[in-house]
Structure 1
Amino acid sequence: MRGARLLILSPAFHDYDRAFSAAFEQLGYQVMVHLYDHNATVAAKARTKLLHELPERLGRDTTEQRTRAITDSAIRALRSVKPQAVLVIKGDVLADDVWSELDAMGIPRALWLYDELRRTRWDRSALAGIPFVASYSAHDTDELREAGMNAHHVPLGFDHLMQVRPAGTRTGEFTFIGARYPNRETVMTRLADAGIPVRVYGRDWSKDPRDVLRTWGSSRPALPWGRDLRRADAYQVMRDGAATLNIHGDQDGFTMRTFEACGVGAVQIIDRADVEGLYEPGRELLVASSADEAVDQAQRIVTDPSWARTIREAGKRRTLAEHTLVHRAEQLAAAFTC
Structure 2
Amino acid sequence: MTRLLLISPAFHGYHHSIGRAFERIGYEVSTYGYDVVDSIVEKAWNKARYELPAKVRGNGGHQSAVTVSRRAAQEILRVKPDVVLVIRGDTLTEEFWETAAADRRRVAVWMYDEMRRTSFDLERVTPYARIASYSVHDTAALQAAGIDAMHVPNGYDAQGPIGRGDAGRGVVSFIGAPLPNRRVALEALHGAGVPVRAWGRGWSNHPFDRARTWRLSTSGVPNARDVPLADAQAIMRDSLATLNIHGDQDGFTMRTFEAAGSGAVQLIDRVDVDEFYVPGEEVLVFESEAELIDIARRVARNPDDFEEVRRRARERTLAEHTFVHRARTMEGLWA
What TM-score comes out, normalization by structure 2 length? 0.94
Matches within 5 A, 1:69-218: 69-165=67-163, 171-218=169-216
Pick closer, same or farther for the CA change 1:85–1:170 going to 2, 3 Å.
Answer: closer
Deviation string, structure 1 residues 296-333 (Cα, Å, up to 9, x no partner): 11112123333311111111111000001111111112
Q: Is the 8 A contact 1:19 1:162 kept in 2?
A: yes
Listed as ranges, the gaps of 5+ residues in structure 1 are: none
Q: Which residue of 2 is the match for residue 52 of structure 1?
A: 50
Q: Which residue of 2 is the match for residue 68 of structure 1?
A: 66
Deviation string, structure 1 residues 160-215 (Cα, Å, up to 9, x no partner): 11112468697121000011111101111111111110000001110101101111
- Tell me the CA shift for residue 61 of structure 1: 9.7
Structure 1 runs (4+) deviating above 4 angstroms are 55-65, 166-170
Deviation string, structure 1 residues 92-116 (Cα, Å, up to 9, x no partner): 1001112212232211111000111
For the residues of structure 1 that align with 2:57 and 2:107, how far apart are their CA atoms? 37
- Cα root mean square deviation, aligned: 2.1
Q: What percentage of aligned pairs have identical amino acids?
A: 44
Q: Is the 8 A contact 1:55 1:62 kept in 2?
A: no
Pick closer, same or farther for the CA change 1:57–1:117 going to 2, 3 Å.
Answer: closer
Answering whether residue 315 of structure 2 is matched by residue 325 of structure 1, we say no
Answering whether residue 307 of structure 2 is matched by residue 314 of structure 1, we say no
Q: Is the 8 A contact 1:115 1:137 kept in 2?
A: yes
Matches within 5 A, 1:245-284: 245-284=243-282
Q: Secondary structure at the match of 2:64?
A: helix
- Tell me the CA shift for residue 124 of structure 1: 3.4
Q: 2:229 aligns with which of 228, 231, 234?
A: 231
Deviation string, structure 1 residues 41-66 (Cα, Å, up to 9, x no partner): 43332221133224545779996971
Deviation string, structure 1 residues 224-273 (Cα, Å, up to 9, x no partner): 11100100000000000000000000100000000000000000000110
Listed as ranges, the gaps of 5+ residues in structure 2 are: none
Pick closer, same or farther for the CA change 1:336–1:272 going to 2, 3 Å.
Answer: same
For the residues of structure 1 that align with 2:167 and 2:204, how far apart are their CA atoms? 24
Q: Is the 8 A contact 1:187 1:290 kept in 2?
A: no
For the residues of structure 2 that align with 1:169 and 1:47, how far apart are their CA atoms? 35
- Tell me the CA shift for residue 292 of structure 1: 1.2
For the residues of structure 2 that align with 1:60 and 1:136, how far apart are their CA atoms? 23
For the residues of structure 1 that align with 2:35 and 2:99, how far apart are their CA atoms? 19
For the residues of structure 2 that align with 1:187 and 1:58, how far apart are their CA atoms? 26
